[in-house]
Amino acid sequence: MSEVAPVVPLAEAALKVEMSQAAPRMHRTRRRRRRRGGTSEKQQQLRFGYRFKPIRLKKTPLAEKLSSCSQPTFIVAMSNNDQEADNLESVFKQKRIIRSNVRQTLKSMDPSLRSQEDDIIQSIVLEAPWFKSSKRLCAYISCSALREVDTSKLLSQILSPAPVSFRLQKKLYVPRVEDKNSNMRMFNISRIDDLVANSMNILEPASVDADGNTREDVMHANDPVDLFILPGLAFDRSGRRLGRGGGYYDTFLKNYKELAKEKNWRLPLFVALSYSVQIMDEEVIPVTPNDVLVDALVSPTGVIPITSAALGRGLCY
């Protein structure tokens, strides 16, 4: 708390306010009485139609209530609220700066290098034991305009029309943005044709399938997912993820974690795909209480495990 100059107790201050308001009324009354020759109380009653009563100052309920409060606590609470607001604004400002810098870096990234890193990252995921053993997963659909790590090869392998014996046999859920208020859902799809372009030209599933049946929402599924494949604009080596500012993934992941806790499910692994230029040192990215950390990163140089959950499920360098 910043240093505060000594203050008059709040109850006393409230009483002084009342006195300052009452004093002019008393002086006006005295002037009237002098001009009228010092009229008596009875004469005032006859003249004005009411019985004049001298003003008596007393503590109001507000003043009494304030006198029972702990004044330092009241002042500290206001100071802490102001400080919290300042801290949040500072975090948001730092995030905006990092976003701007990373966007410029991605924009200047050589297309051939990006394509090469896309292939390497997807191959690492497809060959990883933790991916092969997953039965149900959520994955993002990459958008080249946003310069996200490509997931087309990954999704094609999962949704391959090959005979059942050759398929990866995984249940896949992909995102659909519902509105501009950070609301996103994950729907089950079984083929690439289930995806349609939205108004932003980003592929996402329709809420119903080709037969008009409602798609399964992962939040209403009977079984938990094992893995989340996540996008992001930047990451650091302590697991902090910087999105694009919409809050869609942080909101969804937070809700899914609450669902898993309610149903006593084991939490899925949160694994983010990242170009080499998107990875920063530990704790560089500022966070708020609403930000969800990732368990591991997959970059062109390999898997970067971060949490004990990642290490415990076989994710290693």
pLDDT of residue 53: 43
Q: List CB contacts of 197: < 8 A, sequence separation 6 or more.
A: 203
CATH architecture of 84-312: 3-Layer(aba) Sandwich (3.40)
pLDDT of residue 3: 42
Beta bridge partners of 272: 230, 297
- 229, 151 in Cβ contact below 8 A? yes
* Chain position carrying tokens 């990451």: 235
pLDDT of residue 72: 44
pLDDT of residue 5: 41
Per-residue pLDDT tens, the chain, 317 aa: give them.
444 344 444 444 443 444 445 444 444 544 554 444 444 444 444 444 444 444 444 444 444 443 444 444 333 444 577 787 888 899 999 999 999 999 999 999 999 999 999 999 999 999 999 999 999 999 999 999 999 999 999 999 999 876 554 556 899 999 999 988 889 999 999 999 999 998 788 899 988 888 889 999 999 999 999 999 999 999 999 999 999 999 999 999 999 999 999 999 999 999 999 999 999 999 999 999 999 999 999 999 999 999 999 999 988 87
Q: What are the residue boundaries of the structural domains of the chain, listed by start?
A: 10-34+41-69, 84-312
pLDDT of residue 169: 85
pTM of the predicted model over 0.75: no
